[in-house]
Amino acid sequence: MIERIYIPTIRRPNNQVTYDNLPKAWQEKVIMVVEPGERESYDYPCGFLELPEEIVGSWTQLAETRKLIHLHAGDIKYAMVDDDCQLVTRNSKYWSAQSNMEKSKRTSTEEEIHRLFDSASKWLDEENMGVVGISSGDDFPRPQEYIDTIGVFTWLFLDGKKISPIAQDLTTEFRVAEDLAFMFHCLSSGVNTRKSNEFLFLNRSQTKEFEGKRPIWEETIKDKSETNIFQSEEHYDILRGIQKLWPIAIDIFEKDGKKKNRKNWSKIYTPKCANTLEDFMS
């Protein structure tokens, strides 16, 4: 089962969307990861993990925070979730012959959230499957319940037994897109990924109440007139840095005057093979 839910958070003591939308049984498994100076501002009946002082204020604080979480979790199964997510369930008609709701999607019920956590835990028991995620609210429905060997972000379930052997070597050199670097590191190390088509997250940080409270991105972009952060030169500088580490994993090009990139998930995935006859037979 999923033993912990880590929620890294900064400057949001009164805007814990993810925590507030979890059933009480799962709220009790939450560990909020906070800066020491903000700890007293977070009045929630859950666990807390304070960042070491040497991480606080560093340019790559988020990357270092995520690495700290992986190291802290050790061998357990755990979730790592952004603090601004609402869970949504998609109609099963897209991958089965049966519709289970009136609309195409709706806010997840408590029973569905429990089922998501149970399914993620079972999926993580599969060979090489170490990271399970859910779809973004912007993703189009697929004709499958899930898809393997693909990037998953924002809401992750992880098997520490598969992540801990590579956790110490995770790069922390990127301020943003550090989650993309993590995906490439996992896949190139033989740790596979899975994305649920049934469950989605809605990112509430893009609403007006969070303006000025997205420091990781807002303090990165120099050209404030660039409304699409993913088209910014700073974002593509980081993508080029990631490309240097995993050349076959990403293609960067221009089309119709816009910067584009293509992630080659299946190209970089190197599944682990059984090394002995005993492993093969088991």
- Residue whose entry in the numeric block shows the structure tokens 């429905």: 141
Residue 166 located in a structural domain = yes
For residues 108 and 116, give the distance between their C-alpha atoms in angstroms, rounded to a whole number. Answer: 10
The count of other CB atoms within 10 Å of the CB of residue 13 is: 16
Residue 216 located in a structural domain = no
Residue 163 · residue 130 · CB < 8 Å: yes
For residues 265 and 164, give the distance between their C-alpha atoms in angstroms, rounded to a whole number. Answer: 21
Residues 6+ apart with CB under 8 A from 13: 38, 41, 42, 43
Q: Which domain holds residue 36?
A: 4-206
Residue 254 located in a structural domain = no
CATH number, residue 97: 3.90.550.10
- Stated pTM of the model: 0.90
Token duo for residue 47:
């666990």
Token duo for residue 238:
């980081």
What SS3 class is residue 56?
A: coil
The number of folded domains in the chain is 1
Residue 244 located in a structural domain = no
Residue 13 located in a structural domain = yes
Residue 186 located in a structural domain = yes
Residue 59 located in a structural domain = yes
Token duo for residue 44:
């929630």
pLDDT digits (tens), the chain, 282 positions: 999 999 999 989 999 999 999 999 999 999 999 999 999 999 999 999 999 999 999 989 999 999 999 999 999 999 999 999 999 999 999 999 899 999 999 999 999 999 999 999 999 999 999 999 999 999 999 999 999 999 999 999 999 999 999 999 999 999 889 999 999 999 999 999 999 999 999 986 654 544 544 555 455 555 555 556 777 888 899 999 999 999 999 999 999 989 999 999 999 999 976 454 445 454
Residue 97 · residue 71 · CB < 8 Å: no
The count of other CB atoms within 10 Å of the CB of residue 177 is: 19
Residue 281 located in a structural domain = no
What SS3 class is residue 69?
A: helix
